[in-house]
Amino acid sequence: MVAWNRNADLSAYNSLGFKVTAERFLQVTEVGQLHDALNEVVENKWPLLIIGGGSNLVLHDELPGAVINVATSGINVLADDEDQAIVEVGAGENWHGFVSHLLEMGLHGLENLALIPGSVGAAPVQNIGAYGVELADCFHSLTAYDRETGELVQISAEQCQFSYRNSIFKSSEKGRYIIWRVRFNLSSIFTPNLSYKGLTDYLSDQGVEHPTAHQVYTAVCEVRKQKLPVPSELGNAGSFFENPVVPEAQFQALKASFPDLVAYADKPGHFKLAAGWMIDKAGWKGYRDGAVGVYEKQALVLVHFGAGSATELLALADRIKASVSEKFNVSLEMEPRIYPHR
Ligand code: EPU
């Protein structure tokens, strides 16, 4: 028998801070527990949500069926060869805690991803990225529970098919794997990635030209705090929309109409447009409608002020999408996952 927690309050498991109740909730640390719980889920045909830190999720008030949180922990160095190390970490560890721990261990590569909310296990799903670095840059492999075979399997970086905010866990193999442990390739030699202008501007304001790992880590935390709300203070799920990638001709046409359009060269013949800039230009920054709104310092982030619901937030997101489509003829895709999907 699985000891489900009935009618569980998941307010602490969604960074938007909605009042959400799960019909059944279970935290697992052992594969046997997961196996038994999944058997019950299948036998009863319950809908299932696997949840990490809940920082990229929009949850409706009532979650039917079962919700499982993977709470595997531990950070271990598996191999240490000259200046390279492979570090394995439990999917349930907090991402920022892990990045901070690596800094203390003198292992480098993930500094630019400091302060991203959520769990380690959720990070590969959308290939988290910020300030010029993405998870894929340091990813080695992961161990996942394969729901098709009921066994733990090893999945390589290549098999994950990482791309901008995407992987097989979100696309071709959605729902099949439950991420259990993740391994990273890290280096004891620090090579800063200073490709993001906001980061170099911050460091040069501090008079720092050749930053240490600690200085980059601190700068990332400070730059994030200036632009992004802390979920414990103001409910949010980070960027609410992806930055759309469009063909060069479409970019050129838009640039002709909007000369200050912010965009970056992407894959050959394509440009990535700053969705935050477009939403801002369409007049939404700082907009509030009751319990939900658009963050006053970063238009790409939708916020929940309290006592609101997913329905209200998604209605606002739809209005923003329609307005950006009308003004720029660009279709925005939501970044967080919506559950249950209606
Ligand atoms: N901009 C505006 N107005 C706004 C927001 C942005 O004009 O209200 C402009 C900025 O001035 C800048 C450009 O748009 O020129 C891009 O803004 P920013 O550098 O803040 O980055 P972003 O494209 O909005 C992406 C990621 C963030 C990540 C930052 C930094 C996505 C969807 N978002 O945001 O990731 O932290 O770059 O690397 O790719 C997340 O995914 O949850 C997230 C926070």
- In a shared domain, residues 250 and 323: yes
pLDDT score, position 157: 98
CATH number of the domain residue 30 falls in? 3.30.43.10
In a domain, 79, yes or no: yes
Residue 65 and residue 97 share a domain: no
Note whether residue 201 is domain-resident. Answer: no
Measured from the CB, is residue 299 less than 6 Å from ligand 1? yes
Asked whether residue 209 is domain-assigned, the answer is no
Which sign, positive or negative, has the C-alpha torsion 113, 116, 120, 124? negative
Question: Has 176 been annotated as catalytic?
Answer: no
What are φ and ψ of residue 188, in 5° steps? -80, -10
Q: What CATH number is given to the structural domain containing 296?
A: 3.90.78.10
Mutate to test the pocket of ligand 1, among 126, 195, 277 (most ligand atoms within 8 A of CB): 277
Q: Are residues 169 and 81 part of one domain?
A: yes
Judge if 250 and 311 occupy the same domain: yes
* Ligand 1 centre distance from Cα of residue 300 (Å): 7
The domain total for the chain is 3
Q: 1 falls in which pLDDT band (50, 70, 90)? A: confident
**Would the pLDDT of 174 be above 80?**
yes
Atom 19, ligand 1: which residue's CA is nearest? 198
Domain span including residue 16? 5-70
pLDDT recorded at residue 342: 72
Do 81 and 55 reside in the same domain of the chain? no
192 lies in some domain: no
Q: Which one is catalytic: 165, 181, 183, 224?
A: 165
Distance separating alpha carbons of residues 210 and 65, to the nearest angstrom? 53
Q: Which of 187, 312, 335, 337 is catalytic?
A: 335
Q: Are residues 173 and 97 in the same domain?
A: yes
Instruction: Identify whether residues 179 and 106 lie together within a single domain.
Output: yes
Identity of residue 248: E
Q: Which strands sit side by side in the sheet containing 5-9, from one edge to the other?
A: 5-9, 21-28, 62-70, 48-51
Residue 165: active-site member: yes
Whole-prediction pTM: 0.97
In CATH, what number is assigned to the domain containing residue 178?
Answer: 3.30.465.10
- Domain-ending residue, one of 70, 103, 127: 70
Alpha carbon of residue 125 to chain centroid: 8
Taking only the tens place, the pLDDT of each residue in 51-82 is 999 999 999 999 999 999 999 999 999 999 98
Q: Is 280 in the pocket of ligand 1 (CB under 6 A)?
A: yes
Confidence of residue 6 (pLDDT cuts 50, 70, 90): very high
Structure token pair of residue 94: 């907090």
In a domain, 223, yes or no: no
Report yes or no on 156 lying in a domain: yes
Å from CA of 13 to ligand 1 middle: 24
Residue 220 lies in a domain: no
pLDDT of residue 141: 98
Ligand 1 proximity of 262 Cβ (cutoff 6 Å): yes
In ligand 1, which atom is closest to the CA atom of 297? 8
- pLDDT value of position 58: 98
Instruction: Please indicate, yes or no, if residue 213 is contained in any of the structural domains.
Output: no
Q: Per-residue pLDDT for 223 more than 80?
A: yes
Of 187, 205, 220, which residue is a domain's last? 187
3-state secondary structure (DSSP) of residue 320: helix
Q: Is 335 a catalytic residue?
A: yes
For 253-298, write each residue's pLDDT tens digit.
999 999 999 999 999 999 999 999 999 999 999 999 999 999 999 9
The pLDDT assigned to 261 comes to 98
